[in-house]
Amino acid sequence: MPAGSGVLLLLLALSGALRAHNGDRTARETCKAGFSEEDYTALISQNIPEGEKVLKVTFSSCSGTTGTQYETDSVDFKVGADGTVFATRELQIPSAEVAFTVTAWDRQTAERWDAMVRLLVAQTSSAHSGRQAAPQKGRTAAERAPARSPSTTPRPTLPPTPPPPRRQQQQQQQQQQQLARGLRRQKRDWVIPPINVPENSRGPFPQQLVRIRSDKDNDIPIRYSVTGVGADQPPMEVFSIDSMSGRMYVTRPMDREERASYHLRAHAVDMNGNKVENPIDLYIYVIDMNDNRPEFLSQVYNGSVDEGSKPGTYVMTVTASDADDSATANGMVHYRVVAQSPPSPAQNMFTINSETGDIVTVAAGLDREKVQQYTVIVQATDMEGNLNYGLSNTATAVIMVTDVNDNPPEFTASTYVGEVPENRVGTVVANLTVTDRDQPHSPNWNAAYRVISGDPSGHFSIRTDPVTNEGMVTVVKAVDYELNRAFMLTVMVSNQAPLASGIQMSFQSTAGVTISVMDVNEAPYFPSNHKLIRLEEGVPAGTVLTTFSAVDPDRFMQQAVRYSKLSDPANWLRINASNGQVTTAAALDRESLYVRNNVYEATFLAADNGAPPASGTGTLQIYLIDINDNAPELLPKEAQICERPSLDAVNITAADADADPNVGPYVFELPSAPAAVRRNWTITRLNGDYAQLSLRILYLEAGVYDVPIIVTDSGNPPLSNTSVIKVKVCPCDENGDCTAAGAVAAAGLGTGALVAILLCIVLLLTLVLLFVLWMRRREKERHAKQLLIDPEDDVRDNILKYDEEGGGEEDQDYDLSQLQQPEAMEHVLSKAAGVRRVDERPVGAEPQFPARPVGPHPGDIGDFISEGLRAADNDPTAPPYDSLLVFDYEGSGSTAGSVSSLNSSSSGSGDHDYDYLNDWGPRFRKLADMYGGGED
C-alpha cells in the first residue's frame, strides 16, 4: 500500500471472550429477512419532477414478498410495492443531502425492518462533473443481519456471524462489478466485519470492543470519535471511544430485547477538526441469551369439540411467545400437555402439536352425557422444549364437549289413556312424556311428535310443551260419539335435529294412545236449513204449509223434541209443538212490509228434554206467488191544463202493488156518468202504461175539476179501480203557462171572494187603529191622576216580573233560615251601627210609631201610605222591619213563610170596601181584586 494514500488503517482488537464466542459459532447458511442494505445512497438533481424514481430498495423475506408493505417517514418520497422510491410531488432540494427512513413490515407476523435512504444532490462544479451515480454501500442480505425498530416485536431472531472468507471474496467481486457499472465506493482500506456483543454481560465495564487507527497518525495527531444511536443519539453513551488511541468500549450490559443492533460511524480528524479519513461504518449486534420465559397470550383458552369425535379432530390452538431470538434455541418454543382433568374415559384424551400448539383429540370416547368439560394444563418451554435448560410457563385449556344428537327420545310408557267429550275442539286429552339425555332445550333434545296411525280423519294433533318437552294430544277436529266411541292411536317421537351418523332410532320411540269419546247431549238440528217452500199469497188461515221437523243426533238417548216459534214478524204462522207441522194463522200477503223479494222468513226452535236441554234453530222461507189482489191506482192525483184546447195535455199512468203479469198494460177510460165528464174530457192511449187526458171542448171555464177515470189492470181476472184526478183549468199565456191571475181564478176565487177578502183586510186595519187609540186614552188617564206613590217606585206587594222563572225552592239549596227571625240575636247585637243588613230586624226596643187606623177611610189611603213612609224614614236604627224587600222568585212549594207582615189575608181588612182602587189605574187593579173581591 503506497504511503500518503490516505487509506484508513483499522485494527481489530476484540476481547478473548468475544473471539472465543465467535470461534465457536458455525458459519451455517440461514434465511434472514431484511433489507439488502441498511443505508441506501443515490445521487439526485436539485429539481425533481413528481413521480420520478430515485432508487430502489431491496427487501428479502423468507416467506415471500406477498405480505410485505413499505412505509417512509418522509412526506416528499414514498415507496412502491416493488421497493421503488419515488417523489410524491415536484421538489426543489434546498440542501445538499436528504435522508429518511424506509420501513418494511410483514402483515402476518407484524415484524418491522428499517433502512436509511440518503439522497445526495449533484454538484454543478467541474470537480463533480464526472460523477455519474452515488454508490450503494454495504453488503448483501446474506452478509448482514436485518436492522429492526427497537419498539416492535418480535425482534430479530438470528444474530449475524462474521462472513467467511469466501463471502468476503464474493463481496469484493460485487464491489468490482458495481465499479465497472460506473459506481464508486467510498475510499476505504477494508470493511470491518460486524461486532457481536453478548447481552447481559457482567463486565467489567467499560469493555473494549475494537480499536480504530489511521496510518496518518504517525505524521500528525488524530482525534477519533463515533456517532450514531448509542453514542451521541439516544440511548446516549452506550458506546464510547478513546479519542487519542481509537479504542472503542461498551459501557454497560446490553439487552437484545431492547435493541438488537447498532449502526455507528467512526470519524478521524486532525487537531483543527479537519477530516483526515472518510467515516467508516461500524455494525454492532447484540448476541441473544435465554433470559425470557415463554409467555402465553392468555392464561385460559376456551375451546370445544363435538362428542363422539374421532381421534385427530382439531380442538383449539394455544400460542406462547418468547421475547428471545426465535431463530435460536432461546426463542424456539415447544408445547406439551402436562395434565388432564377428569381422566375419563382415558388419561390422554388430547394431545398438542409441540411446535404449532394445536390441540387435537387422541382417543375416542368423548361423551357429553358423561363428561361435559375437560381442563387441560399446557406447558410451553423454550430451548426447543429441553426441560433441563429451557424456561417454561403453563396455561389452562378449557375444552367443552358439545352435544350431538346421539340419544333418541324415548317414551316413559308404552301406552297412554285419555278421554274427550264429543264436539269439543282444542281440548288436551292426553300428555305424552319422554326422556332424552341430550342437552336440554336444544334441537337435539326438543321432541317432535306425530300420529302415524289410528286417526285417518285427522281429529288429533300433538303439540310439544317447550318447557317440559311433553307431547299434548289435542283435538283439532270435533269427534262424534255416534260415529266413533274410541280411538287407538300410534304416535312417534323424534328430535328437531336429525340423529348423529351411526345412531339408530330406538323401538321405544313409539307408543299407543287410547282415547275414549264421551257422549254429551247434542242439540237437535233441522236437516234442511234454510227450508224454502213456494206458496200463493192469500191462502186462508189454517192451511197446512209443511212439516218443519228437526233431528236429534243423540241416537243412544231416548229424548223428545218440542217445537216453538222463535221469530214470526207478521204472526202469520203456527207450528205443532210435537211434530213440527206449520200452518197459517192468517192470510199471507205478498205486498206486506214483512215480505222482502217475495220471501217471508220465520225462525223456529227445536229443543230436546235432555239434562241439560239442548236446542237448535231453523229458518223457514216462504216464497209467495203473486195473485191479482190489488187494483191499480191512478197517477198523478192532481194536474193542470189550459182552459182552451192546445197541445197541452195531462200524462196519466197507474201504480199496482201486484207483480207481473198482474199489472200493466192498463186500460184507462172515462165513466159514462156524469155525462159532463165525457163531454168535456177525452183520453188518448199512449202505450200500455201511459195515456193522455185532454179537453174535448174548445173552452172550459177556469177552475178545479174532479175527473173520474177507470183504470183496469191485466190480471186474471182483471181488477178495476175508479180514481179521481183533480185538474186545475187556468188561462194560459202564449207559452202555454198559467198566468198569475189565471192561477187565482183557477183556485176558485171569483169576484165575490175577492171582495170578501178586501173587506176582511179593511176590518183588520180598523181594529188595529181602534186599539191604538184606546191605549193612548188609557195612558192619558194614567198621567191625569196623581198617585200618592209613583207606580214605578211602589214595589211593595206588587206583582213583580222576573226574567228567570225558577224551579221553586224545592230544587234549590237555599238557607231559608236567613229569611226568618233568628232565635239568637248575639251576632246582630255585636255589629256596629250602620253595618247591619237592610233586611235585618231592628235589635232592642222598637220605636213607637203612631197607631195606624184600623179601618182607614177609602179617601185617606194616600195618607195611610204616607204615614208609613215617614215612619220608615224617621227610624234612626235600621230600615223598618215591615218595609218592602225585594227578593228573587222563590218558586212554588217554598217551605219559607211570607217575609212581609203586610199580608192581606191576615190583616183583618176584609170588612172594608176597596172598590175605589179600580179608579187608581191598572197598577192597582191587582189590589182591587185581592181586597175587593169578596169571598172569592
* Cell numbers that stand for 187 in this block: 475510499
Higher confidence at residue 925 or residue 238? 238
371: amino acid identity, one letter? V
pLDDT at 746: 54
Calculate the average pLDDT of the chain: 76
Q: For residue 394, how many C-alpha atoms fall within 13 Å in the half-sphere facing its CB?
A: 8
DSSP single-letter state for residue 495: E
Judge residue 856's burial from the number of C-beta atoms within 10 Å of its C-beta, 0-12 exposed, 13-18 middle, 19 or more buried: middle
- CB-CB contact of 277 with 255 (8 Å): no
How many whole angstroms separate alpha carbon 427 and alpha carbon 461? 11
- CB-CB contact of 254 with 47 (8 Å): no
* Residues 59-71 as b or e (16 or more Cβ within 10 Å = b): bbbeeeeeebebe
Higher confidence at residue 741 or residue 167? 741
- CB-CB contact of 231 with 237 (8 Å): yes
Residues forming a β-bridge with 473: 430, 462
How many whole angstroms separate alpha carbon 610 and alpha carbon 482? 16
- CB-CB contact of 511 with 494 (8 Å): no
Judge residue 573's burial from the number of C-beta atoms within 10 Å of its C-beta, 0-12 exposed, 13-18 middle, 19 or more buried: buried
Instruction: Classify domain 531-625 by CATH number.
Output: 2.60.40.60
> Which residues are CB-contacts of 883 (< 8 A; sequence separation ≥ 6)?
796, 872
> Rg of the Cα trace of the chain?
67
Query: Which of 71-80, 103-112, 223-232 ranks highest by mean pLDDT?
Result: 223-232
pLDDT at 678: 84
pLDDT at 785: 56
Q: Which of 718, 596, 717, 711 is nearest to 655 (CA)?
A: 711
* Cell numbers that stand for 402 in this block: 358439545
Parse the chain into domains and list their residue ranges.
34-121, 197-287, 295-402, 410-517, 531-625, 633-730
pLDDT at 287 exceeding the cut of 80: yes
* Cell numbers that stand for 419 in this block: 278421554
Each residue of 342-389: pLDDT tens digit? 999 999 999 999 999 999 999 999 999 999 999 999 999 999 999 999
Question: Mean pLDDT, to the nearest integer, of 279-301?
Answer: 93
pTM above 0.75, yes or no: no
- CB-CB contact of 333 with 381 (8 Å): yes
- CB-CB contact of 159 with 288 (8 Å): yes
CA distances from 662 to 594, 599, 632, 719 (A): 21, 18, 10, 9
Each residue of 110-148: pLDDT tens digit? 788 888 888 888 754 333 333 333 333 333 222 333 333
Q: For residue 368, how many C-alpha atoms fall within 13 Å in the half-sphere facing its CB?
A: 21
Indicate left, alpha or beta for 326 from its phi (over 0: left) and psi (-120 to 50: alpha).
alpha
Rounded-to-10 torsion of CA 645, 651, 652, 655: -170
Query: Which of 32-46, 576-590, 649-663, 862-876 ranks highest by mean pLDDT?
Result: 576-590
Fold match flag (197-287 vs 295-402):
yes
Instruction: Classify domain 197-287 by CATH number.
Output: 2.60.40.60
Question: Mean pLDDT, to the nearest integer, of 631-650?
Answer: 81
- 478473548: which residue's cell? 16
The dihedrals phi and psi of 90, each to the nearest 5 degrees, come to: -70, 125
Q: Which CATH class is domain 410-517?
A: mainly beta
DSSP single-letter state for residue 879: S
Across the chain, which distance is largest between two alpha carbons, in Å?
181
- CB-CB contact of 121 with 95 (8 Å): yes
747: amino acid identity, one letter? A
pLDDT at 332 exceeding the cut of 90: yes
pLDDT at 536: 84
Higher confidence at residue 517 or residue 22? 517
Each residue of 358-369: pLDDT tens digit? 999 999 999 999
- CB-CB contact of 535 with 625 (8 Å): yes
Instruction: Classify domain 34-121 by CATH number.
Output: 2.60.40.60
How many whole angstroms separate alpha carbon 539 and alpha carbon 531? 19
Higher confidence at residue 441 or residue 935? 441
How far separated are the first and last CA of the chain, in Å rounded? 174
pLDDT at 123: 55
- CB-CB contact of 212 with 191 (8 Å): no
Task: Concatenate the DSSP letters of all residues of 167-203 into one string.
Answer: HHHHHHHHHHHHHHTT------S-PPPPEEEETT---
Residue 932 pLDDT grade (very low, low, confident, very high; cuts 50, 70, 90): low
296: amino acid identity, one letter? F
Higher confidence at residue 89 or residue 183? 89
- CB-CB contact of 113 with 105 (8 Å): yes
CA distances from 12 to 9, 190, 238 (A): 10, 11, 19
pLDDT at 1: 37
> Which residues are CB-contacts of 201 (< 8 A; sequence separation ≥ 6)?
207, 250, 253, 254
> Which residues are CB-contacts of 758 (< 8 A; sequence separation ≥ 6)?
none
pLDDT at 220 exceeding the cut of 60: yes
Question: Mean pLDDT, to the nearest integer, of 670-690?
Answer: 84
* Cell numbers that stand for 416 in this block: 297412554
CATH superfamily, region 295-402 = Cadherins (2.60.40.60)
Question: Mean pLDDT, to the nearest integer, of 842-847?
Answer: 46
Residue 754 pLDDT grade (very low, low, confident, very high; cuts 50, 70, 90): low
How many whole angstroms separate alpha carbon 50 and alpha carbon 45? 13
CATH architecture of the domain 633-730 equals Sandwich (2.60)
